[in-house]
Amino acid sequence: MSDLRRLLDDGKPIFGTDGVRGVAGSELTPELAVAIGRAAGAWLRGGPVLVGRDTRRSGSMLSMALQSGLHASGIDTVDVGVLPSGGISYLTATGPATMGAIVSASHNPAEDNGIKLLAARGTKLPDGVERELEEKLRATGSSSALGGSIGYRVENADGFWSYLDHLSEISRYSLSGLELVLDCANGAAFKAAPSLFQRLHAQVQVFNAEPDGTNINRSCGATHPEFLARVSRGRIGLAFDGDADRLIVVDEDGKVANGDVVLAIVARHMKRQGKLKGDRVVATVMSNLGFRKSMEEAGIEIVETPVGDRHVMDALLDCKAVIGGEQSGHIIFPEHGSTGDGLLTAIKLLDVVAGSGKQLRDLRAEAIVEYPQVLENVRVDRMTDLARVPALWDEVKVVEEELGEEGRVLVRPSGTEPVVRIMVEAPSESAARGYADRLAKLTRTKLGKE
d(CA 105, CA 53): 9
> Residue-wise over 218-255: b if at least 16 C-beta within 10 A, else e?
eebbbbbbebbbeebeebbbbbbbbbbbbbbbbbbebe
How far is the CA of 60 from the CAs of 16, 51, 92, 213, 354, in angstroms? Answer: 22, 11, 19, 10, 39
DSSP per position, 81-94: EE--HHHHHHHHHH
- The catalytic position among 85, 89, 106, 328 is 106
Which residue type sits at 257? Answer: A
Is 106 marked active-site?
A: yes
Q: How far apart are CA 91 and CA 94, in angstroms?
A: 5
Where are the alpha helices (H) located in 145-222, listed in sequence order?
Answer: 159-170, 189-199
* Cα(82)–Cα(105) distance, integer angstroms: 13
Judge contact between 326 and 307, C-beta under 8 A: yes
What's the burial of 45, exposed, middle or buried (CB within 10 Å: 0-12/13-18/19+)?
exposed
Q: Where are the alpha helices (DSSP H) in 200-246?
A: 225-231
Active site (catalytic) residues: 106
